[in-house]
Amino acid sequence: MEFLARMEPDAISTLYREYSGYPTPISAFVTANDYMALLNGTSFTLIAEWSQSETFRGARLHYAQQWTLIQNYSKETDIDIQPPSPCSLLHGELLSSYSLSGDLKAVVRETSGQFAGQQFLEVWSNSSLKKIIHLTALNKHGRVYEDAQFGCLAWSTCESRLLYVAEGKRSIGESYTSAPSPSAGESTARPLGSPSEKDRSMYWEDWGEGLTSKSVPVLCVADVAKGTVTVLQGVPSHVSPGQALWANDGECVFFVGWWHEPFRLGLRFCSNRRSALFCLDLEGNCECLSGDTSSVSSPRLSPDGRYLVYLEGQVFGPHSQCLTMQQYDLEMRNISLLVGVVNRPKKDEFAGLYEALPPRCWASDSQRVVFSSARRNWRDLFVVDRITRRVTRISDPEKFGSWKLLTIQNNLMVVHCSHLNEAPRLAVAFLPLAGGEEEVSWDPLGESCLRGAIVNVLDIIPTPQEENPEYSGLDFGALLVTSNHLPSRTKVPLVVFIHGGPHSQFFAEWNVTTAVLVKLGFAVLMVNYRGSTGFGQDSILSLAGNIGSQDVKDVQRAVLTALADQTAEKLLTLDPDKVVVMGGSHGGFLACHLIGQYPDFYKACAVRNPVINAATLLGTSDIVDWRYSCVGLQYSYDQLPTPEALTTMLQKSPISYAPQIKSPVLLMLGGKDRRVSPHQGLELYRSLKSRGSPVRLLWFAEDAHSLARVDTQADCFLNVVLWFQQHLHLH
């Protein structure tokens, strides 16, 4: 029985609106209610913030929800969960942070209306607004940084000061102190030749994709009582500060400083930028605490104020890699290794550290750190004991799917759980005493929202011909998702879905694109080729110099494996004559390679901001170093392209296979993409047009690399489905 369903555009959009409307938790805060001494236990308040796409208005909504949790005295791990409060919409919040006691909440808000585009710092108590500081009017700095790379909003332990990062004054010779405002009728013009006039067209570097307005970050301290803001002095001039936090005594701050000399490279999704951990006191004295030849991120201070953990990696090479966790002892003033690089993990073991630490990750005993990380096709939850150096997994992928820690406070862990067939929800548990972590007991918040899908995990071994001789013996994974609502023995078309990066991965977690495609009757194969995170550092390193070959063969091997796994017990049959492929960025690079190298295999292709020609991309990407590293060449700041290097890049690019492409191609390009210039897609578009090959191009002028706007995502999905339906001849 063949798959014959074809839905009309309105029905597809309605289904996408439903599935994309499932909210995702993005942060959580827990406070103990000591004043509520209950007979049956201790009360905690959990406040979670969620993000939800709303396609009618093309908006991404943020709202808060509150729970009361009661820990039973009879057994520490038992939690009574009270019904949640109604959701409350959060308007214009760029950053927010609760004080340690939970009594105060700080908000950086951008307003509309009369003060459109202006920024305010608000401090709220449990009963009312306590303080408001008009940051824009103070003119001490530019816009506040709200991004995940630099941004922070940290309370001092005394709850009287707030630390944040903002754009510094850019004009040469201009001080951080605001100039007096001109009186009524007074001209604001400055004579030609003055510093502000002669430098108004000066080029200012920024930090690339997703950080285009970020150039010269500065550390700022707001005094809540006085209503004043001070820009901290003493940060070394060759670094850009971010990810700042207070020391326990409130007399100094810790921060990460990224080298911006000789010039800035793209920072988003790149954990390989030279940086170090610094300590700056309020008098302007600065000290580098870590080495200065590595990449550093995610500094987190223990509750007792003695230990500072942070992540460390290599500079250049893979843009995302297996990281180490280092511990700095502030009393002994020494650094020790807590978690090392994992080169070749065994199947069910800890596979290494690949993502940032949550803002609150320490257990109350200042002995253990809880974190999330990739493990093969999953994201799991782990705890490391800084005394024993033992890493223990405390999540159960068979129970909830993939896990992400949002916070741990008072040893109460709050995690975001989901699966490919289950929409996101929260779960909570108390971390047991040291040594008993494996006994953790999880309680979900809210009902499970299951969507009809079957998930099969594929472990794939390359053939001898596909082995990498330098890194032999590596395997990789894939996730095959099919519907459980179609009639038995139905033949279904297969969508091969390829992640970008290339050093990222598909987790077995909620994915709107996959969920809706499966609901429409497609099967979806999500491939974690060699080079994906979660499979060890050797897997990542194996891809350097082998893009366009090793990763292409891995995806094709995964497809052939899925098609061959058609046993009698299978309810559905994958149709080998109806296979299509889609992907973005490096996933688009691979998709275009596949339709060029296997021109009769794939019936259609849809790609978002694909890399088409690595040689022509060299001068337009914000991560020029990766353009060398990915093809196996060393990079240095003073590097000049050579004919040999450009030839290597061209030979490894999909454009070399453009004459063989037969599949109809849908291109989706962001006009403001800084990582992969939209001219990459245009290059393929023109090549295909010149040969009369079917091609369609969607141009999103205001979007960047991720095409992340809500209306853009909905538009792209609808067009992809219609493109596949058209060229698979579904009726």
Catalytic residues: 585, 673, 705
Smallest Cα–Cα separation from 373: which of 388, 344, 393?
393
Burial of 465 (0-12, 13-18, 19+ CB in 10 A): exposed
Burial of 618 (0-12, 13-18, 19+ CB in 10 A): middle
Report which DSSP code applies to 421: T
Smallest Cα–Cα separation from 90: which of 112, 109, 71, 68?
109
Rounded to whole angstroms, the Cα distance separating 380 from 510 reads: 14
Task: Quickly list H helices, 33-169.
Answer: 135-138
Smallest Cα–Cα separation from 429: which of 388, 383, 375?
383
Q: Are 368 and 413 in contact (CB under 8 A)?
A: no
Q: Identify the H or E element spanning 457.
A: strand 453-460
Using alpha carbons, list the distances in angstroms from residue 4 to 1, 490, 730.
9, 10, 6
Smallest Cα–Cα separation from 518: which of 490, 482, 478?
482
Smallest Cα–Cα separation from 357: which of 348, 368, 365?
368
Coil vs helix vs strand at 392: strand
The CB-side HSE value for 149 (13 A sphere, CA atoms) comes to: 24
Q: Residue 385 corresponds to which tokens in the numbers above?
A: 């004991």
* Cα of 251 vs its chain's centroid, Å: 32
For residue 517, which phi and psi values (nearest 5 degrees)? -60, -40
What is the rounded radius of gyration, in angstroms, for the C-alpha atoms of the chain?
A: 26
Place of tokens 């578009």: 685
Coil vs helix vs strand at 490: strand
* Cα of 50 vs its chain's centroid, Å: 16
Strands 453-460 and 476-483: antiparallel
Using alpha carbons, list the distances in angstroms from residue 385 to 346, 362, 381, 391.
21, 10, 14, 7
